A and B are shown apart, each in its own frame.
Chain A
Amino acid sequence: KAGVTQTPRYLIKTRGQQVTLSCSPISGHRSVSWYQQTPGQGLQFLFEYFSETQRNKGNFPGRFSGRQFSNSRSEMNVSTLELGDSALYLCASSPGDRGGVKNIQYFGAGTRLSVL
């Protein structure tokens, strides 16, 4: 079974631009979550999509948005990039409809975004 695939792996943008990141979940998984990792801040939860609907949301500004397609693939968009948006963006997939250990999240390798 293929794992979680994130593209691109690396991205360099300038302030004010917008960016779209992509995530393909494990086959059969209907939940995709997005996280931002910065040094000292751990994994900050952005949002979670389940069956094309946003089910959970973190405390990020509206510049961060996402969507999920009918095949469970997900995209995350950041508009009007700021220097502080430089981070590793991780996506994780899970079945999304099971309890406890049956709903373990599996992560992709991440997209490293650098904003200059």
Chain B
Amino acid sequence: DQQVKQNSPSLSVQEGRISILNCDYTNSMFDYFLWYKKYPAEGPTFLISISSIKDKNEDGRFTVFLNKSAKHLSLHIVPSQPGDSAVYFCAAFTSGTYKYIFGTGTRLKVLA
């Protein structure tokens, strides 16, 4: 039972354009959502998060949007840079259980 889904395994975007990565979830008990970025041969690094009581959080070029009614969140990267090429994982967290659930990841390739 995959509670957090990233349906696009890969995405290619031109440098300077917007990258949109999507994530769907099924459990209404999640109260925080996070995005991690992973380069080859490194562990995932935290990128940005959003509380379930918010609908948008912005940090520089990165913005996360949350649509609770659709159980959907997205990560927008504007403008995309070649250094953004990595695998992006969406994660959901439940404060009551301290449990994280990760998606399967989306490989982003930003073309120069």
A residues touching B (Cβ–Cβ < 8 Å)? 4, 6, 31, 33, 35, 40-43, 45, 48, 50, 55-56, 90, 92, 96-97, 99-101, 103-110
Contact = CB atoms under 8 A, between A and B. Distances in A.
B30 to A, nearest CB: 11
Contacts, number: 66
Contacts of B102: 35, 42-43, 45
Nearest to B46: A104
Interface of B: 6, 9, 31-32, 34, 36, 41-46, 49, 51, 89, 93, 95, 97-105
A113 to B, nearest CB: 14
Contacts of B89: 42-43
A101 B45 contact: no
Nearest to A100: B32
A42 B100 CA distance: 13
**Which of A42, A43, A106 neighbours the largest number of chain B CB atoms within 10 Å of its CB?**
A42
Given A101-B32, A104-B49, A107-B44, A41 B100 contact: no
21 contacts: A4-B43, A6-B43, A31-B98, A33-B100, A40-B104, A42-B102, A42-B104, A43-B44, A43-B102, A45-B100, A45-B101, A55-B98, A56-B99, A90-B43, A92-B100, A99-B32, A100-B32, A100-B93, A100-B95, A106-B46, A107-B45
Given A41-B104, A42-B105, A104-B34, A96 B98 contact: yes
A48 B99 contact: yes
**Which of B45, B97, B99 neighbours the largest number of chain A CB atoms within 10 Å of its CB?**
B99
